[in-house]
A and B are shown apart, each in its own frame.
Chain A
């Protein structure tokens, strides 16, 4: 790559990065703008404006931001842990023995092929009868349900990577199936678990539709709060951006530190490296 090639390389790369980062930066800039600076046609105001913290103040004072944030944390982490447990067991079964000859695996994955909106109505009726509406427990169950398919698929790829010889050797040594799973296979698949955990956590964190329909006040996560700034006359972009700025921060932080894992997950271990 000559000099010229390098310049082209960086021009393209930086342009791509700009396209990616600019809208997200807009969120953080808008969070500190007053309404006049948001609804202006002055291009300078995009970047240069008077900082104000009124959006955040309003967010914390008039809306239950922190309780909602706590809800999000509890629901995401709990559902992720449970999903990992269920999916790990199932994925191991599929990977090692091809249980159900691929049909069960396909069925699991196809849960994501059903339009979520329509599943919501029978669930709503069921939840009403069970008193699960507006409870963190209820919403967590739903999140567990819709994350399991992808988690199973991901972990399937990771489990398949583990050589059978290892397990066979252990069996000869007298380990039971359970011990093999617990002591030999699981430790090897830890990076896969990490990746899956990240995805499930992020998707649960960002989930909107079910969170919106199944919670009201008590169990409301923060994504629903952010969407509620959408009015019939005006969208209150200030507090919305402020809420979004805080809400997406954890996912950004995770992304930064877990990059390698995330990318590995994206390639489902189908590619070595």
Chain B
């Protein structure tokens, strides 16, 4: 080849490569955001209800930008969190069509599925990129939480923030050579985050000490407890869910037809056995927990660990990791927390999510608002300013959260969430909560029923009987899928 020709070829090749590079880098950074919302033809104001909390306090300010950019007014009603369900349910069932964007806890998705749009339908209708564009954006969201937000195969809601659970341990204590040596001497295996129930029990026992005994070589100024748990009638059922799912059981087994549709729910003998086992083990563990745990909600349990009174929280909402770590820093300057999967690797999961009501008078604007709130840019606001954890995996892996300053405690939790979602994804489809219309009601019932044996109001056998009986009763009343006990 002549020299000139070679130069031409190299030049053209460089241009081609360069252009490809531009195009690809453009694609790689192109994330759906406010600027991508096309003009909304329907300018009717839309209404939504949100719960109290710092998360929404911050996000609401950005919703104002949405209003300016699209010209659609958004009326926001702020409501106490415990009553979101009642208020929205009344409106949905009475068919008032008042709320355009609906705030949904994932366990209510099936129940409200009749009232909510399939988001892909709206994407097909209003999104210039169609369903493909929609899918491209949401594929970055945790597959676990996406599935929780589906009902009967349709994507009804997108997650706003997640309360996936994990196990919190005092990493500094676990890394301490004195403790490691003592543990190995007493129990015969290395001290590391518990992976089985026996290990958890051993370690809880090991770390329950009286004032004056040593921790990390220093005498304790107060009693120390191995665990802190939420045995009160508030979130205990979430802790039990971690346990039974981790053992391969569920509150009811989902049985499908050949085409994948739901056939029936069966509370098998194995399910009952697993529930009994989980309750017994939970109760046994309580002896290594402070007395207040019997009526505790998450704030108490986290405060116990944060103030240095407890070493392990076997199941806690991962979103509270940063708060507990901050508390710990104030009370125990050299304390550090670590977060790991709960025993069995299938922690309780779910997310507060957003959907569009079928009775809405402006589904177009509602759809775009939901897309905007679950977009990368707004979820980033949620995480940085609102203090909650997004369900977007691309966001959790954002380098900003993994710098040396932010890695602990924020980045650590992000990595944990992404990992546990990848591992848990195959199982979520069959979690009973997310396949039944009675999910929300049974959840409410469980809050009290599962607490009773811990407070010695009933025996564990009676509790299992009651839970089974009431589950069947509620599901028969509120769902169309038959349920039976084996």
Contact = CB atoms under 8 A, between A and B. Distances in A.
A and B touch in the complex (CB under 8 A): yes
Interface of A: 62-63, 121, 124-125, 128, 133-134, 212-213, 216-217, 227-236
Nearest to A227: B80
Interface stretch (B51-59, B267-275, B436-444, B447-455): B51-59
A128 B94 contact: yes
Given A128-B96, A213-B90, A228 B80 contact: yes
Residue from B47, B75, B78, B87 with most neighbouring chain A CB atoms (10 Å): B78
B96 A230 contact: no
B4 interface: no
A128 B79 CA distance: 20
Contact of B90 (A124, A217, A230, A234): A124
Contacts of A125: 94
Contact of A230 (B80, B87, B299): B80
Main secondary structure on B side of the interface with A: mixed
Given A216-B47, A234-B53, A228 B79 contact: yes
A62 B57 contact: yes
Contacts of B52: 228-232, 235-236
Contacts of B47: 216-217
Contacts of B80: 227-231
A213 B53 contact: no
B112 interface: no
B83 interface: yes
Given A63-B78, A217-B77, A234-B53, A212 B94 contact: no
A235 B80 CA distance: 9
Contacts of B299: 233-234
A216 B87 CA distance: 9
B81 interface: yes
A240 to B, nearest CB: 9
B82 A213 contact: no
Interface string B47-76: 101011110010010000000000000010
A235 B52 CA distance: 8
A230 B98 contact: no
Given A128-B96, A133-B98, A230-B52, 19 more contacts: A62-B60, A124-B94, A134-B98, A212-B83, A216-B49, A216-B98, A217-B47, A217-B77, A228-B79, A229-B52, A229-B80, A230-B82, A231-B51, A231-B53, A232-B52, A232-B81, A233-B54, A234-B54, A234-B299
Contacts of A228: 52, 78-80
Interface string B12-36: 0000000000000000000000000
A236 B75 CA distance: 22
Given A227-B80, A230-B80, A133 B53 contact: no
Contacts of B87: 212-213
Nearest to A133: B96
Contacts of B82: 230, 232
A233 B83 contact: no
A166 to B, nearest CB: 52
Contacts of A231: 51-53, 80-81
A229 B80 CA distance: 6
B332 to A, nearest CB: 16
Nearest to B84: A232
